[in-house]
């Protein structure tokens, strides 16, 4: 059956209309940006104005072109998913009558294990902030908090002074889907949070009217880009070979706890995962380490 369209609009025009419809549905700015970027790239690569002229072969060639350009499998998956949803939308709105993505085999997401900083690398990282400065004290408290509680970047930046219960060593975190959870804070995290509150935050807060815990210059709440920028500098320290970001510290928190006997259920509650399957990357890393240790012990006999 030949694909045909009753609209006569170019694929570029239909894509713009599609984005406008997503805006009307109140999609987030980040999601809209991803869809726009993916569809622009697809249209520029395929170079066909008529949506009806695009075939399954064109889509397969586009998927291969992304890989040839050096895209990682996970990025190819997200780009191609945007294209799939676009064609599904055109089919549902009768802009096309045959969806060329329908018969394509789905591309499976890579299960490649993510790197996790070692306990020694974490010790080196935590020692990097300059404790003679206010910013250094803040950064030490922040790093200790992430490593102790395994919070996500957004959760970290949304923390408030009132969410802390330092006397009982815990904090209230608002996670994904507005799900609230209590997380434990280790001895070092509590210690440095107290120092930060007493010596830095209270002084900086004179020009800050809110309850935000982490403050940047002039007493303003820390921005979303600030923590990664700090980690880029701190993770260049001698002795650190793993690329360290906030999420890798979260993985380190879970992995190191598992190595020291914490249960998978406890880790699930700590990290705020609703499904145990999300812990697989942490469990797999630990199992890999155990296998390596086992092999080394055999070789040493």
Catalytic residue among 9, 16, 170, 273: 273
State yes or no: is 273 an active-site residue: yes
**Model pLDDT for residues 246-271, shown as the tens digit of each residue:** 999 998 998 898 888 888 778 888 88
Q: What is the pLDDT of residue 219?
A: 80
pLDDT tops 80 at residue 65: yes
Q: What is the pLDDT of residue 6?
A: 46
**Contact between residue 54 and residue 11 where contact means Cβ atoms under 8 Å apart:** yes
Rg (CA), the chain: 24
Q: What is the pLDDT of residue 28?
A: 87
State yes or no: is 23 an active-site residue: no
Domain 11-92 classified CATH 1.10.260? no
Closest CA to 211 of 181, 172, 168: 172
Q: What is the pLDDT of residue 274?
A: 67
Are 11-92 and 119-300 the same fold in CATH? Answer: no
State yes or no: is 282 an active-site residue: yes
**Contact between residue 3 and residue 98 where contact means Cβ atoms under 8 Å apart:** yes
**Contact between residue 184 and residue 148 where contact means Cβ atoms under 8 Å apart:** yes
Closest CA to 156 of 232, 212, 197: 212
119-300 belongs to which CATH class? Answer: mainly alpha
Q: What is the pLDDT of residue 285?
A: 65
Q: What is the pLDDT of residue 126?
A: 97
**Model pLDDT for residues 271-301, shown as the tens digit of each residue:** 887 666 667 666 666 666 655 654 554 444 3
Catalytic residue among 62, 79, 196, 282: 282
Catalytic residue among 152, 153, 170, 191: 152
Q: What is the pLDDT of residue 189?
A: 95
Mean pLDDT confidence for 200-225: 81
Mean pLDDT confidence for 160-189: 91
State yes or no: is 224 an active-site residue: no
Say how far apart CA 93 and CA 77 lie, in whole Å.
24
- Report pTM: 0.61
CA angle 225, 231, 235 (to 5 degrees): 155
% of the chain at pLDDT higher than 70 = 84
User: CB atoms < 10 A from the CB of 151, how many?
Assistant: 26
Q: What is the pLDDT of residue 297?
A: 46
Extract the runs of DSSP E, i.e. beta strands, from the chain.
164-165, 170-174, 180-184
> Measured in whole angstroms, how far is the alpha carbon of residue 162 from the centre of its chain?
26
Q: What is the pLDDT of residue 73?
A: 82
**Contact between residue 175 and residue 112 where contact means Cβ atoms under 8 Å apart:** no
Catalytic residue among 40, 176, 194, 278: 176
Q: What is the pLDDT of residue 2?
A: 43
Q: Name beta bridge partners: 165.
A: 170
Beta-strand pair 164-165/180-184 = unpaired
Lowest-confidence pick of 15-19, 45-49, 82-86, 215-219: 215-219
State yes or no: is 89 an active-site residue: no
**Contact between residue 283 and residue 263 where contact means Cβ atoms under 8 Å apart:** no
Say how far apart CA 153 and CA 184 lie, in whole Å.
17
State yes or no: is 294 an active-site residue: no
If one compares 30 and 273, the residue with the highest pLDDT of the two is 30
Mean pLDDT confidence for 206-215: 77
**Contact between residue 60 and residue 67 where contact means Cβ atoms under 8 Å apart:** no
Q: What is the pLDDT of residue 240?
A: 95
Question: Hey, where are the domains in the chain?
Answer: 11-92, 119-300
**Model pLDDT for residues 115-170, shown as the tens digit of each residue:** 889 999 999 999 999 999 999 999 999 999 999 999 999 999 999 999 999 999 99
Extract the runs of DSSP E, i.e. beta strands, from 88-188.
164-165, 170-174, 180-184
Q: What is the pLDDT of residue 209?
A: 55
**Contact between residue 104 and residue 77 where contact means Cβ atoms under 8 Å apart:** no
What mean pLDDT, rounded, does the chain reach? 85
**Model pLDDT for residues 70-109, shown as the tens digit of each residue:** 888 888 888 988 999 999 999 998 888 889 888 777 666 5
**Contact between residue 79 and residue 42 where contact means Cβ atoms under 8 Å apart:** yes
Q: Is 301 helix (H, G, I), strand (E, B) or coil?
A: coil
> CB within 8 A of 280, min separation 6: which ones?
none
Mean pLDDT confidence for 1-25: 77
Could you tell me how many residues make up the chain? 301
> CB within 8 A of 138, min separation 6: which ones?
129, 196, 200, 201, 214, 215
**Contact between residue 276 and residue 108 where contact means Cβ atoms under 8 Å apart:** no
Catalytic residue among 201, 250, 251, 256: 250
**Contact between residue 213 and residue 161 where contact means Cβ atoms under 8 Å apart:** yes
Q: What is the pLDDT of residue 1?
A: 40
């Amino acid at each position: 059956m030949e694909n045909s369209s009753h609209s006569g609009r170019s694929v570029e025009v239909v894509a713009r209309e599609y984005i406008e419809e997503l805006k009307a549905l109140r999609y987030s700015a980040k999601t809209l940006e991803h869809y726009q970027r993916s569809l622009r790239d697809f249209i520029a690569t395929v170079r066909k104005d008529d949506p009806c002229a695009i075939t399954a072969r064109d889509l397969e060639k586009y998927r291969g072109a992304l890989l040839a350009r050096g895209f990682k499998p996970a990025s190819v998956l997200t780009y191609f998913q945007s294209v799939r949803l676009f064609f599904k939308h055109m089919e549902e709105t009768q802009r096309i009558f045959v969806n060329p993505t329908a018969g394509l085999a789905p591309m499976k997401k890579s299960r490649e294990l993510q790197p996790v900083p070692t306990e020694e690398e974490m010790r080196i990282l935590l020692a990097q902030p300059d404790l003679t400065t206010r910013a250094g004290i803040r950064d030490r408290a922040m790093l200790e908090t992430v490593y102790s509680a395994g919070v996500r970047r957004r959760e970290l930046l949304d923390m408030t002074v009132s969410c802390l219960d330092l006397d009982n060593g815990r904090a209230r975190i608002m996670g994904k889907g507005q799900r609230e959870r209590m997380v434990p804070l280790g001895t070092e995290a509590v210690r440095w949070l107290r120092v930060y509150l007493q010596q830095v935050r209270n002084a900086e807060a004179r020009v800050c009217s809110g309850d935000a815990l982490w403050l940047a210059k002039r007493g303003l709440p820390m921005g979303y880009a600030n923590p990664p920028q700090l980690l880029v500098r701190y993770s260049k320290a001698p002795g650190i070979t793993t690329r360290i970001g906030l999420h890798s510290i979260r993985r380190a928190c879970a992995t190191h706890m598992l190595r020291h006997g914490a249960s998978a259920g406890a880790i699930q509650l700590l990290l705020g995962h609703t499904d145990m399957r999300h812990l697989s990357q942490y469990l797999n890393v630990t199992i890999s380490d155990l296998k390596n240790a086992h092999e080394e012990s055999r070789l040493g006999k």
